Chain A
């Protein structure tokens, strides 16, 4: 599956370079999507951000795929980042987190019409080698053929086999909020600003 996704990305990239935009009119892509997670407890709030997520959205089928590198998440405190990578997410063993799914009610979005659309997204989320189905509301804002997607949902760390040591169990919430903010560009028109 990974090889198929990689080949899709390479194919799409090659089509851009050769100017074959006809084949890419249905695809929107982002290579610097924003992903954040937030853990809130009475003792401490912990948050981390990555702005290097990759996502491809098929406007025709509603198919939506997302991938983010665990080591790209940045924390305010260095020790927290080290523990996150070495102990909790084991990023050397599981370097990426992925989502493969689709927009459930794609017909609600008119990509040719500027506007804000609220939809439901569902699919399979893989974190720390564990895969679980998720469904979440999302909003898409369409502007001049490009789209900005936003979503927020909660996950239980135990669902993804992420165990919290007893010593810090009061500092990290069992449920973590994940926020996504992705600006998609039409694959045929790379943006420069």
Chain B
């Protein structure tokens, strides 16, 4: 009888600890926000023209390699477009038809990015793939190391 009681007391105690722990973990996972891009490490650091040429040469292979990954692109500012909630920076070499389009959300930039055409810049973002250009989202400016 006592052994029976001991066994179920132990199970009850384990359940008392584990069920709320699982619940808390599940709640945290469900409400987890995307990580801060500044703290993420880039899988690749690549020049914008190299990235574009890889997608131009073999979009499927380049997508498999870069799509969904955090990458840092180094290039020259071609154009900047702004809306109320975001800014888009085009990195291109001035020769190819395609660019690397870097999309910045409003909360990633406390103030409007002040960039000059032709300025060299390092941008970290998540590669979404390729349409007319290579597309990066959730971008942040990365300082030179």
Which A residues are in CB contact (< 8 Å) with B29? 79
Question: Does B31 belong to the interface (CB within 8 Å)?
Answer: yes
| A to B contact number (C-beta, < 8 Å) | 92
Would you call A192 and B88 a contact (CB within 8 A)? no
* Contact digits for B75-113, partner A, Cβ 8 Å, 1 yes 0 no: 000011111011010100000011001010100000000
In the complex, A52 has a CB within 8 A of chain B:
yes
Does B35 have its Cβ within 8 Å of any Cβ on chain A?
A: yes
- Tally of contact residues, B, Cβ under 8 A: 36
| CB–CB B82/A193 < 8 A | yes
Contact check, B67 vs A95: say whether CB atoms are below 8 A apart. yes
Q: Is B34 in contact with A31, judged by CB distance below 8 angstroms? A: no
A32 and B131 in contact (CB under 8 A), knowing A14-B97, A192-B117? Answer: no
Q: Are A52 and B138 in contact (CB under 8 A)?
A: no
A interface residues, tally (CB under 8 Å): 34
CB-CB contacts below 8 Å: A101-155 with B: none
Mark A5-31 against chain B: 1 for CB-CB distance below 8 A, else 0.
000011001100100000000000001
A interface residues with partner B (beta carbon < 8 Å): 9-10, 13-14, 17, 31-32, 34, 50-54, 67-69, 71-72, 74-79, 81, 85, 91-92, 95-96, 190-193
B55 to chain A, nearest CB (A): 11
> In the assembled complex, which residues on chain B have CB atoms less than 8 Å from the CB atom of A14?
97
A residues within 8 A CB of B53?
A: none
Check A52 against B103 for contact (C-beta < 8 Å): yes
Choose from B34, B81, B131 the contact partner of A191 (Cβ within 8 Å): B81
* Chain A residues, CB < 8 A from B79: 190-192
A9 touches B97 (CB 8 A): yes
Tell me whether B47 is interfacial, beta carbon within 8 Å: no
Complex contact B132–A77 (CB within 8 A): no
Say which residue of B81, B105, B127, B131 sits within 8 Å of A192 (CB atoms): B81
B32 at the A/B interface (Cβ < 8 Å)?
Answer: yes
Q: Which residues of A contact B117 (CB under 8 A)?
A: 192
Which B residue sits closest to A68, measured CB to CB? Answer: B131
Contact B132 A31 (CB under 8 A): yes
Q: How far is the CA of A77 from the CA of B34 in the complex (A)?
A: 6
